[in-house]
Amino acid sequence: MMSAVSIHTRTALPLPTRRGLSRVEAAEYIGVGASKFDAMVTDGRMPKPKKIDGRRVWDVRLLDQFFDTLPGGDDSDHNPWDN
């Protein structure tokens, strides 16, 4: 007999198809809002943008490198409420 339990799944975001991302896209890529991303750029946790004429773009490869250096990823900062 089948139960009426719904299965909640998360879909992963696809990797970007371009190397340079706008500010909003870069923030979404690392999983934060635009204002948090701005603060992370200001304090050095995320890279500064490259400038192409009047546009600012963030290099996906640099975003990955900076993201890899962020703290966490082990059980030392595990919060049991974050299941």
Task: Give the count of beta carbons closer than 10 Å to the beta carbon of residue 27.
Answer: 22
Can you give the pLDDT at residue 5? 53
CA atoms within 13 A on the CB side of 28: 10
pLDDT, position 31 = 97
Model's pTM, two decimal places?
A: 0.69
What pLDDT score does 55 carry? Answer: 96
Give me the architecture of the 20-70 domain, per CATH.
Answer: Orthogonal Bundle (1.10)
Tell me the pLDDT of the chain (83 aa) as tens digits.
555 555 556 677 776 578 999 999 999 999 999 999 999 999 999 999 999 999 999 999 999 999 999 998 776 666 677 66
In this predicted structure, what is the pLDDT of residue 13? 74
What b/e sequence results for 56-74 when a residue is b if at least 16 CB atoms lie within 10 Å of its CB, and e otherwise? Answer: ebbbbebbeebeeeeeeee
Supply the pLDDT for residue 64.
97
- What are the boundaries of each domain within the chain? 20-70
